Chains A and B, each alone.
Chain A
Amino acid sequence: MHPVGIRLMPRPYVKIASLLATALLAASILPASGLAAGKTVVTVAYSPTFVFDTNDLAAKWWNSIKDQFEKQYPNAEVKLVPIEGGYDDIVNKLSLLYRSPATTPDVVQIPTPVIAEWVASGYLLPLDSYVAKTDWWQDFPQVIKDEDTFNGKVYAVSSGENDSMLYYNKDMFKKAGLPVPWNPQNWDDILTAARQIHAKVPDVVPMWLMAGTSVGTVGIEMGSGNLLFGSSDSTIYDAATQKWVVDSPGLREVLGFYHSIYSEGLGAKLSDLFSPTAHTVPVTDLIPKAEVAIVLGSNFYGGQWGKLVCAPCWDKATEVEGVAPIPYVKGQAPNVTTTVAGWDYAVAAVTPHPKEAFDLVNLMSNESNSIDMANWSGFVPGSSKFAMAPALINFGPPVNELASKIIADGKILPPLADFEVWSKGLQEATGTMAQHPETTVDQAIGILKDYVTNQLGEDKVETR
C-alpha cells in the first residue's frame, strides 16, 4: 500500500522553492557598498532632517558637497551616512557607530554639547596642524574656538552656531500700546509687555517659552538656558566643587519668571510645548499665523520665512516681526544674554585617511558652503567674517544681523555627560509649571533637586 503524499516534488513545494530561491537571489544582489576600485572613500555622518530647515535643502547641500569634493579630488569618493531621528536619536546612533572602527564615520557633523564626551572616549582626531593651514580658522571668535578645544587641542570645527533672541509681533505691540521698536532692559519689561498683550490683544498667546522634556537639551538651549545665563548666578556646574547646582538665586529667578508666565496664563498651550516638534512650532506655525506675540526663540527662524526655504513662506516677515536681544534679569551689563551651541565637524581618530577627511572639512568650511549651510539651517557661521557677509545678513533680515552681533556675548552649556540629567531635571520642573500653573518656585526647585539627586547622588549636587 502506497502511503499518501509521497511524490518526488509536490507542486506547492516547487512554487515555494522557486519563490524563495528568487527572493534570496535578489536579496543577495541588494545594493552592496559598491566601491569603485582604488578610490579613497570618505564617509560622513550627518542628520538629514534635524539640522537644516527643510529635508530638501539638507539633501541639496550634502549632495552638492559630494559633487564638489569628487570633482576636486578625482581619486576620492564621498559616502553619505544620514542619521534619522531627532537630537537624542542622532547622538545615540553616533555613540553606537563610534564603538567599532568598522562603523565609525571618517567625518561627522555632531552637536557641540557632546563633543567633550567624544574626546573623553578618544574618538576624535586632534586637528591643530590641519586648521593652522586653513584661511578661515583665524576668523573664528575665541568663544567659538574654545567650544571645540579640550586639553589645549582642537578637536572639532564649528559648522555653525545657534543663539537666541526675543521675537515680537509689531502689529500686536502697536495694538497693545507697547513701544515699537521694542527694547526690553530687564525681565520685568518682558513680563509687562506680555501682560499688556494678554489684556489688550485677546486670542493670542502672549509669550512662547520652551517648557517640558519633549525636545531634550535643545529645550534648554532655546529656552531656560538663555534666561539662566542672564540671571544673577548663571552657574550650572560648579567646576571647583565638581557638583551640579540645583538651587541658586539664578535658578530661582528663572523659575520665578516661568511661574509668572504660566500662572498668569501668559504661556502657550501644552500640546505645542510638549510636541516632538516644539523647537519648530513657533517658526512654522505660531508666528506666521499671528498666534503669538512674544517668542523667546532661536536665530534659525530668520531664513525660514524667505522665498528660498519657504518653511513656510511669509513675505510679511520683515514688516511684522521685530527682534530684540534678551536682557539680563535686572539689566546688569552687558545686558545681552544667549546660549551658544551649534553643530561641528569632527574627524575620527581611527580614520585610515585623515588627510582626505580634513580636505572634506576644509571644503565644507569655505565661504560659499558655509554661508549656504548657515542660511539653509539658520546658523551663524563660525567665521566672523562670513557672519557679516551680505549674503547672510540679507537672507533673513533683521534676524541674521542681530544673531551675528550677539554671538560674542554668548555662553556655552556644560559639555558634560551628566548635563543630560540636569537638563531633564530642569525641564521636568518647567514642564510641571506649564502643566500645573499653581506650582510654586519652591516646588519647582524641589523637582529639579530631587531629580538630579536621585540620578546622580547627594554628593553631586549643591545649593548656592
Chain B
Amino acid sequence: MNDAVVASASESGKKVRLHKRSADHPGVDIPGMILLLPASLLLLALFVLPVGYAFYLGFTNITLIGPASVHFHFTGIANVHRMGRDTLFWKSLWLTAVFLAGSVVGVTVVGMALAVVMQRSAAWLRAGVGAVAIVAWMLPPITVAVVWYAFTTSGGTLSLVTPGDGDSLNHFPMLIVTLANVWSTAGFSMLILSSGLRAVPSEVIEAALMEGTARWRIFLSVTLPIMRPTIVTNVLLVTLLSLANFALIYIMTAGGTDNSTDILPVYSYQQGFVFKKLGYGALLGDVLVIISTVFAYLYVRAARQRPVRTRLADGV
C-alpha cells in the first residue's frame, strides 16, 4: 500500500509520456478536445463566467432592492475606497485569520492525535472511533450547526460542565464556532494524516528505536519531517474548506454575534443580503476569492513537490 502511494505520488510529479503519439492525429488532438468539451463548457458557463461577472459587480453600485437593483452602473474604485475606510472589513479580515489559524491548528492537532493514537490501539476501537470522527465530517453543515448550537447554548450539554450560566456560545462565540469547525473537519484530516503516517518507513523508526531514542523524540525529529508534505497538504486543504464554511457560522450565530464571528464570507453575505448593498458585498467576495486563490496556489505548489522520503532513506 505504501509503495503504491509513493509510486503514484512520484509518477504524477513526473511528466513521462508512455504512449506514443498516434500517427493518425498529428497536430490538434480532436478526440481529446471533444472529451474535454463537456467539462470545459460547464466550467466556463457556470463557474468562470459567474465568477467573472461577480468580480465586475464588485465595482458597481448594484443593490438587492431599490432603484439601483435594476439600473446600476460601474462605479470604478468607489467601493474599494469604501472598503479601505470600513473598519468592520478590517475586523472581518482579522477574524477570518483567527478562524483559519484556529481551525488549522485545531484540526491538524486533533487529526494527528487520532492518527498517532490509532496506530497502537485495538482494531475494533480504531474502527469505532474512526467511524465517529468520519461521521462528524460527513454531517451536512446544517446538522453540525444545529448540534453545536444545542451543545453550547445555555442548558445544552456543554453547560453541564461549564460554570456560570453555561452560555458558551454567546460568551466565546469565535472559540465555539472554531471548535465546531474543528470537530467537523478533524475526521478528514485524520484520514489524510494516518495514511501519511503509514507511509513513514518502519525501518527508519526501528533503527532510531534501536539506538535508544525516545518515542516522542522520534516523532518530532523523524516522523514529522518525513510527513511534512502530507501535513502541508492537509493544512492547505483545511484552510480552503474552512474559508468556504459559510453555512456553519451563519446558522449558528446569525442569532446575535455583535460582529464577533463576522468572518469574510459572513460579512460579505451580510452586506449583500441584509444591507442589500450587493455591489459592496460582491467586492468583499472578490477579496475572498483572491485569498482563496493564494491558498490554492500554495496547495498546487505543495502538491507538486517531490516526496522527502527518497532523500531521507539515503541519509539515515
Binding site for B on A (CB under 8 A): 88, 92, 95-96, 98-99, 114, 117-118, 120-122, 212-216, 269-276, 278, 417-418, 420-421, 424, 428, 431-432, 435, 450, 454-455
B206 CB to closest chain A CB, in angstroms?
39
Chain B stretch 48-79: residues in CB contact (< 8 A) with chain A: 63-67, 69-70
Chain B neighbourhood of A98, CB < 8 A: 65
Binding site for A on B (CB under 8 A): 63-67, 69-70, 85-88, 153-155, 165, 167, 169-171, 254-259, 273-276
User: Known contacts A95-B69, A274-B256, A417-B276; is A454 also within 8 Å of B87 by CB?
Assistant: yes
Q: With A95-B65, A275-B255, A435-B258 given, can you name 16 additional A-B contacts, CB distance below 8 Å? A: A92-B274, A96-B64, A98-B65, A117-B65, A118-B65, A120-B66, A120-B67, A212-B258, A214-B254, A274-B256, A278-B256, A417-B276, A420-B275, A431-B256, A455-B86, A455-B88
Task: Check if B67 sits within 8 Å of A95, measured CB to CB.
Answer: no
Q: What does DSSP make chain B's interface, helix, strand, loop or mixed? A: loop
Task: Check if B167 sits within 8 Å of A271, measured CB to CB.
Answer: yes
Task: Check if A95 sits within 8 Å of B276, measured CB to CB.
Answer: yes
Chain B neighbourhood of A88, CB < 8 A: 254, 273-274
A432 to B259, CA, bound (A): 11
Chain A neighbourhood of B85, CB < 8 A: 454
B197 CB to closest chain A CB, in angstroms?
33
Select A420's contact among B69, B165, B258, B276, beta carbons within 8 Å: B276
Select B154's contact among A120, A216, A269, A432, beta carbons within 8 Å: A269
A18 to B190, CA, bound (A): 36
Q: Considering only CB atoms, which chain A residue lies closest to B278 in the complex?
A: A95
A418 to B86, CA, bound (A): 16
Select B64's contact among A92, A122, A213, beta carbons within 8 Å: A92
Q: Considering only CB atoms, which chain B residue lies closest to A416 in the complex?
A: B66
Select B63's contact among A214, A417, A432, beta carbons within 8 Å: A417
Chain A neighbourhood of B86, CB < 8 A: 454-455
Chain A neighbourhood of B273, CB < 8 A: 88, 92, 95
A270 to B275, CA, bound (A): 25
B174 CB to closest chain A CB, in angstroms?
14
Task: Check if B170 sits within 8 Å of A274, measured CB to CB.
Answer: yes
Task: Check if A121 sits within 8 Å of B70, measured CB to CB.
Answer: yes
Chain B neighbourhood of A450, CB < 8 A: 87
A275 to B254, CA, bound (A): 9
B51 CB to closest chain A CB, in angstroms?
19
Chain A neighbourhood of B165, CB < 8 A: 269-271
Cross-chain pairs A/B with CB under 8 angstroms, 18 sampled: A92-B274, A117-B66, A117-B276, A118-B65, A121-B66, A121-B70, A269-B165, A270-B170, A270-B171, A274-B170, A417-B275, A424-B274, A428-B258, A431-B258, A450-B87, A454-B87, A454-B88, A455-B275
Chain A neighbourhood of B276, CB < 8 A: 95, 117, 417, 420
Task: Check if A271 sits within 8 Å of B170, measured CB to CB.
Answer: yes
Chain B neighbourhood of A214, CB < 8 A: 254-256
A400 to B170, CA, bound (A): 35
Task: Check if B70 sits within 8 Å of A122, measured CB to CB.
Answer: yes
Task: Check if A271 sits within 8 Å of B66, measured CB to CB.
Answer: no
A114 CB to closest chain B CB, in angstroms?
7
A7 to B237, CA, bound (A): 40
Q: Considering only CB atoms, which chain A residue lies closest to B153 in the complex?
A: A271
